[in-house]
């Protein structure tokens, strides 16, 4: 398990958790079971839930269902969240990850997702959230697919620290095909 520390009183919106469950599709029941094992049940979109328990549940999904399942769930998330209008350029989508995170989490540091654009088709995203590495990568892939109808290439940088290996951040390089 990643050793990232999440403040014990940090919270996440029910809406976020429900979009993850919806993204599980046919495995939703299994997802609900795993959340319940971590003390999260009867999720309401407008309420807030313990973030450490939610992160632990995602870790269990990874352990029991595999990293690729977690990646696929992340990829489906944008199909199940209300997306603000106007996220229609490479840079706007890059900027949206940090904003969405800050809106949907409390009691945990904000501004922990940063990006740097190298040119109008290449960027690097550094994520210091407590979310598992494979989940992050899926969410990034999914948001670009959904918002720009583009199959971006997302490369996890294995040369720098990784949350799954106990690091504080994960780095993903994003390339938008011409």
Q: To the nearest whole angstrom, how small is the minimum distance from the Cβ of residue 163 to Zn ion? A: 5
Q: Which is nearer to Zn ion, 100 or 170 (CB)?
A: 170
Torsion of CA 39, 5, 60, 53, to 10 degrees: 10
Instruction: For the CB of residue 128, give the shortest distance to Zn ion in the complex, in Å.
Output: 11
Which residue has tokens 């971590």? 38
Residues that bind Zn ion (CB under 5 A): 133, 162, 170
Q: Of 32 and 157, which CB lies nearer to Zn ion in the complex structure? A: 157
CB closer to Zn ion, 82 vs 158: 158
Query: Which residue, 95 or 162, is less far from Zn ion as judged by CB?
Result: 162
Nearest 10 degrees: CA dihedral of 77, 18, 84, 71?
A: -10
Instruction: Say how far apart CA 4 and CA 96 lie, in whole Å.
Output: 23
Q: Least separation, in Å, of the C-beta of 99 and Zn ion?
A: 22
Least distance in Å: CB of 9 to Zn ion? 26
* C-alpha to C-alpha distance for 134 and 67, rounded to whole angstroms: 6
Which residues fall within 8 angstroms of residue 140, CB to CB, at 6 or more apart? 74, 97, 125, 152, 154, 172, 174
């Amino acid at each position: 398990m990643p050793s990232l520390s999440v403040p014990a009183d940090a919270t996440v919106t029910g809406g976020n958790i429900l979009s993850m469950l919806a993204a599980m599709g046919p495995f939703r029941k299994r997802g609900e079971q795993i959340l319940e094992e971590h003390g999260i049940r009867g999720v309401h979109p407008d309420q807030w839930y313990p973030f450490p328990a939610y992160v632990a549940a995602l870790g269990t999904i990874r352990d029991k269902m595999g990293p690729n399942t977690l990646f696929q769930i992340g990829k489906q998330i944008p199909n199940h969240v209300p997306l603000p209008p106007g996220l229609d350029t490479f840079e706007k989508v890059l900027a949206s990850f940090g904003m969405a995170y800050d809106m949907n989490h409390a009691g945990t540091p904000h501004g922990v997702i940063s990006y740097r654009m190298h040119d109008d088709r290449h960027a690097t995203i550094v994520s210091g959230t407590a979310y598992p590495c494979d989940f992050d990568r899926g969410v990034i892939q999914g948001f670009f697919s959904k918002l720009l109808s583009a199959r971006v290439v997302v490369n996890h940088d294995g040369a720098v620290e990784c949350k799954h290996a106990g690091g504080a951040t994960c780095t993903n390089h994003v390339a938008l095909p011409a």
